[in-house]
Structure 1
Amino acid sequence: MTNNSPQPDQALLRGARVLLRPWRTADREPFAAINADPLVMKHFPAPLSRYDSDALADRIQTHFDQYGFGPWVLDIPGVSECAGFVGLLNVSFDAHFTPAVEIGWRLASSAWGQGYATEAAACALRYGFHALALPEIVSFTALANLNSLAVMRRLGMQCDIHEDFLHPRLPAEHPLCLHHLYRIRREQWIEREKR
């Protein structure tokens, strides 16, 4: 995230109301505000400091540099130039379902409840299944994160409670440790697109 111009090897994905675009240096400040919001970070171990938020932004850019995809900035034209992120990334820990590519999102609370996450995530899934030809994409979150679980279901992702898992980066006794795993395969997504 060294300048304000899009990188040519990073995708620009458009929905009816949303734009998923490459990161700019100017995104760091609003991104830090999102990561510092206790409401946004309710289902994560803790809000992030500015230092930790910038470190996360650096890791996202490294993922783009290495793989050509990652969590894009969610731009809602006319509403917010940086309402959070939505995108794809390689799962960075070992679990029964890895290696895998996950779809994830983190939106400013002001952007909740308006369908932006679902619309943007659909753009990212389309890119993952068509441009990247991924066979499957997963998503996961703590059991109490009902909003994100609802987005996963609206995207057509499916959950088997037998695949619930303890997140390896959290202590087993942590209240957020148990996670639901959702999956969608490429052929399922393509079938949904035909409807």
Structure 2
Amino acid sequence: MIELRTERLLLRQWKDDDLDALTPMYADPEVMRYIRDGSVQTREETAAHLDRMRQHWDEHGFGLFAAESLATGELTGWVGLAVPAFLPEILPAVEIGWRLGRSFWGAGLATEGARAALRFGLVDRGLERLVSIRDPENVRSARVMEKIGLIFDRRTTVPGNGRTVDVYATPRLS
């Protein structure tokens, strides 16, 4: 079981009871505002996403970590790595992403967790490049991307839903 620790977070594998904390987060319109079409998710849809996050770990040896507060033990959301199959033009690629409950916004936790996930991907997993994808209106995510050293790569359209997204990436090593 892979775990990462930061100053304030434990990035860990998923537990069954994490669904209870994820459900209200995925039902929050502000949290889901920039995700796909902005729709909130039911408990069943959230459970299906939790299953997909676990399967991703099994298939790839990396994935999205549950992000738990070291101070309180609360699940703050998730942060980690995933293959962005929804955007074939950038494949092969690995995306660094995060989603936190609204009560955890503005405290630097997304940046803190993303830095740990970035190190995990580049150092521990030996990936050469990571990308991050955001809705152009999501300025909070843009700030996190810039704080962890990602640079703007391109603006493009997601084929499955026609939404415009901005792709940021680690600088190329060449």
Shorter chain as normaliser: what TM range?
over 0.9
What SS does structure 2 have at the residue aligned with 1:103?
strand
Query: Any gaps of 5 or more consecutive residues in structure 1?
Result: 1-7, 189-195
Pair member with larger Rg: 1
Does 2:63 correspond to 1:70?
Answer: yes
Does 2:106 correspond to 1:113?
Answer: yes
Indicate conservation of the 8 Å contact 1:129/1:186, yes or no. no
1:179 paired residue among 140, 165, 168: 165
Quote the sequence identity (%): 35
1:1-195 aligned at under 5 Å gives the runs 8=1, 11-44=2-35, 45=37, 46-160=39-153, 163-170=154-161, 172=162, 177-185=163-171
One-letter identity of the residue aligned with 1:25: D
* 1:80-132 deviation per Cα after TM superposition (whole angstroms, max 9, x unaligned): 52111000011113432211000011100000000000000000010101111
Partners of 2:4 and 2:136 lie apart in 1 by 30
Indicate conservation of the 8 Å contact 2:8/2:71, yes or no. no
- What TM-score do you get using the length of structure 2 for normalisation? 0.94
Aligned pair count? 172
What SS does structure 1 have at the residue aligned with 2:145?
helix
What SS does structure 1 have at the residue aligned with 2:130?
strand
User: CA shift at 1:78, angstroms?
Assistant: 2.0
Partners of 1:159 and 1:108 lie apart in 2 by 26
What SS does structure 1 have at the residue aligned with 2:168?
strand
Partners of 2:99 and 2:160 lie apart in 1 by 19
RMSD: 1.5
Indicate conservation of the 8 Å contact 1:143/1:180, yes or no. yes
What SS does structure 2 have at the residue aligned with 1:83?
strand
Query: Any gaps of 5 or more consecutive residues in structure 2?
Result: none
What SS does structure 1 have at the residue aligned with 2:86?
coil
